[in-house]
Amino acid sequence: MFNTQTYKQSYFLWLLALLAFLLLFRLGATPIYILDEAKNAECAREMMQRNDLIVPTFNGELRTDKPPLHYFFMMSAYKIFGTTEFAARFFSAIMGLLTVLVTYQYTKRLFSTFAAFCAAVVLVCSTHFLFEFRLSVPDPYLIFFITLGLFSAFTWLQENNNAQLYIAAASLGLATLAKGPVALALPGLCVLIWVILSKKWKTVFTWHLIPAFILLSAIAVPWYVAVDKATNGEWTKGFFIDNNLNRFSDPQEGHGGYFLLTLIFLVIGLLPFISFIGEAIKQRRKIFSNSLIKFSALVTVVFLIFFSIASTKLPNYAMPCYPFAAVVLGSFIASLLNKEINPKKYPYYILLVFTLIVPIAGYFAIAQEAEAKNVNWLALLLLVVPFIFITAAFIKTNWEKKIKIIFISFCVFNIIGLQYVYPYLYKQNPVAKTIDMVKQYPNVYCYNIFNSGYRFYLDKNIPRTYDVATLKHWLDSTGNAIIITRTDYLDSLKGLPLQEIVRHHDIFELPTTVILRTNATP
């Protein structure tokens, strides 16, 4: 299986089936709790309930954070499966399958079948890749359409195949509907640099660029024009200024960091096979002899540098380069398994140390979280993975068997971690612990801030105020009610006849959620 001579193309179908299992199994087991997930999932439902494809809202208020592509897919899933956690994430998982499929097909076409398979293995084993494609966020859609757009644009340049140009235009148009101008700017920069380096000017200067640009614009522009008109420019200002320019120039929501943080995110995100990057660089003359590998390295570097410069830093920002980094790593692994190179053994031992540290560190880290300390033993389930590594270390094996061990170990790691440990751990969040109680009350209000997950599970708007007098008026008018707030704002509510029911720390976050009620009973 793991060399050119024994590889069969049916193995990729089995790999795709494994990926479908890793992405879809227990997809709805984790509650909708993370801020972005909750807001995206609820925004899609509100648009669906209003039969509105233009104006995104959360809790009845305009949401300017993201363009609408993922909302459209979520609405479709809600109509098929109902408004559930699984439905909110379903098409994200499908985008993961499509991303790996596209990476495989283009690498097979432009390089080699076995290297394409190895690139797919890199992505299937990546915990971060799987994690992101199991969330109800726009990034899975962005990653897929940028991946398809860049691969097809490169194929157009290499083969002078105009059909690939139109695929690229349509894909990047959809990517722009997924995340905004960055989805066009960064791929465009990658293509421009490649044209300059490879001197593909003759291919670029073609009349086909005009209809391709029209196609891209026809896909991307109409919705932006419509939402600008429908909101009198409010969405446009909020999105392009606050959520694009300001995110690049200033850290937003506390997500800053030093220059190398994006590189660290990339390295951790592409484990286990990123551990071979040092050896791949040593063998660069052999590994980077193919144009696709050079282009893939270029894409990875461009995304890495851009998001290292940006002030706001999040682990998912550079993820559109993952498929291209996987192509580079897949090329190295293919050469390794074909015995064309003979690297050092340290990448294997790096992974052993990593898989040993993660469960131990997780055990102590979870113990520090008040809401989850009673389930910190869950992290120790992951010790089965270093046990596999340690057992195999005492057996004399070649690199083919070592790669199989890495593959199997991280599949086990991802099944245990993403499908059992993570869902059970995140059920300890304050929304999951209190939502049944909250639903008993006819009137639910928010003072200042509430966890967005409440809105998804209540399926009704939660009136919010920053003013004590307004809150008092609501309570006087309705009587039997509860108020969701945070400990930071309790002092200003002391003058109201409220009783604290419960408080829970927002798991792995700074705030503590507090639920108060009037003196009446539900």
User: Per residue in 264-281, pLDDT tens?
Assistant: 999 999 999 999 999 998
- Same domain? 21 vs 131: yes
Mean pLDDT (the chain) is 92
Q: What is the CATH classification number for the domain harbouring 468?
A: 3.40.190
Give the pLDDT of residue 260: 84
Give the pLDDT of residue 480: 86
What percentage of the chain reaches a pLDDT higher than 90? Answer: 79
pLDDT at 164 over 70: yes
Contact of 504 with 434, CB cutoff 8 Å: yes
- Same domain? 376 vs 309: no
Write down which residue in 426, 451, 483 finishes a domain: 426
Nearest to 106 by CA among 327, 321, 286: 327
Range of the domain at 408: 346-426
Task: Give the residue-averaged pLDDT of 182-201.
Answer: 94
User: Per residue in 337-354, pLDDT tens?
Assistant: 998 888 788 888 899 899
Contact of 198 with 292, CB cutoff 8 Å: no
User: Per residue in 1-46, pLDDT tens?
Assistant: 566 767 788 999 999 999 999 999 999 999 999 999 999 999 999 9
Helix or strand run (H / E) with residue 445: strand 444-447
Is 3 inside a domain boundary?
no
Is 165 inside a domain boundary?
yes
Write down which residue in 283, 302, 337 finishes a domain: 337
- Same domain? 285 vs 403: no
Is 249 inside a domain boundary?
no
155 contact partners, CB below 8 Å, separation of at least 6: 106, 109, 110, 161, 164
Instruction: Give the whole-angstrom CA distance, residue 71 versus residue 77.
Output: 10
Contact of 140 with 351, CB cutoff 8 Å: no
Contact of 180 with 67, CB cutoff 8 Å: yes
What's the token pair of residue 165? 């140009």
**Confidence grade of residue 167 (pLDDT, cut at 50, 70, 90):** very high
User: Per residue in 448-465, pLDDT tens?
Assistant: 999 999 999 998 999 999
Residue 235 CB-half CA count within 13 A:
24
Give the pLDDT of residue 246: 56
Give the pLDDT of residue 115: 96
How does DSSP assign 47-69, residue by residue? HHHHT-SS--EETTEE--SS-SH
Task: Give the residue-averaged pLDDT of 171-186.
Answer: 95
Instruction: Give the whole-angstrom CA distance, residue 264 versus residue 308.
Output: 10
Helix or strand run (H / E) with residue 144: helix 139-159
How many domains in the chain?
Answer: 3
Instruction: Give the whole-angstrom CA distance, residue 100 versus residue 300.
Output: 16
Task: Give the residue-averaged pLDDT of 84-91.
Answer: 98
User: Per residue in 192-249, pLDDT tens?
Assistant: 999 999 998 988 889 999 999 999 999 999 999 999 999 999 999 999 887 666 555 4
Instruction: Give the whole-angstrom CA distance, residue 386 versus residue 488.
Output: 42
Task: Give the residue-averaged pLDDT of 151-155.
Answer: 98
What's the token pair of residue 255? 């997500």
DSSP state letter for 243 = I
Nearest to 493 by CA among 450, 456, 446, 427: 446
Is 297 inside a domain boundary?
yes
Is 243 inside a domain boundary?
no
Instruction: Give the whole-angstrom CA distance, residue 417 versus residue 489.
Output: 36
Give the pLDDT of residue 313: 80
- Same domain? 365 vs 504: no
Q: Alpha carbon of 117 to those of 104, 409, 431, 446, 486: distances in Å?
A: 6, 18, 42, 51, 50
- Same domain? 283 vs 417: no
**Confidence grade of residue 522 (pLDDT, cut at 50, 70, 90):** very low
Strands in 482-486's sheet, in edge-to-edge order, are 464-465, 444-447, 482-486, 512-518, 498-505
- Same domain? 187 vs 263: yes
Instruction: Give the whole-angstrom CA distance, residue 42 versus residue 259.
Output: 34
* 257 C-beta neighbours (distance < 10 Å), count: 16
Give the pLDDT of residue 257: 61
Is 241 inside a domain boundary?
no
Write down which residue in 337, 372, 403 finishes a domain: 337
- Same domain? 352 vs 476: no
- Same domain? 396 vs 451: no
- Same domain? 420 vs 495: no
* 106 C-beta neighbours (distance < 10 Å), count: 23
Contact of 305 with 189, CB cutoff 8 Å: no
- Same domain? 281 vs 309: yes
Is 142 inside a domain boundary?
yes
User: Per residue in 137-150, pLDDT tens?
Assistant: 999 999 999 999 99
Give the pLDDT of residue 2: 63
Is 392 inside a domain boundary?
yes
* Strand 482-486 relative to strand 444-447, pairing: parallel
What percentage of the chain reaches a pLDDT higher than 70? Answer: 95
Contact of 265 with 322, CB cutoff 8 Å: no
* 173 C-beta neighbours (distance < 10 Å), count: 23
Contact of 302 with 362, CB cutoff 8 Å: no
- Same domain? 194 vs 282: yes
- Same domain? 298 vs 330: yes
Instruction: Give the whole-angstrom CA distance, residue 198 versus residue 111.
Output: 17
Instruction: Give the whole-angstrom CA distance, residue 49 versus residue 74.
Output: 12
Helix or strand run (H / E) with residue 305: helix 291-309
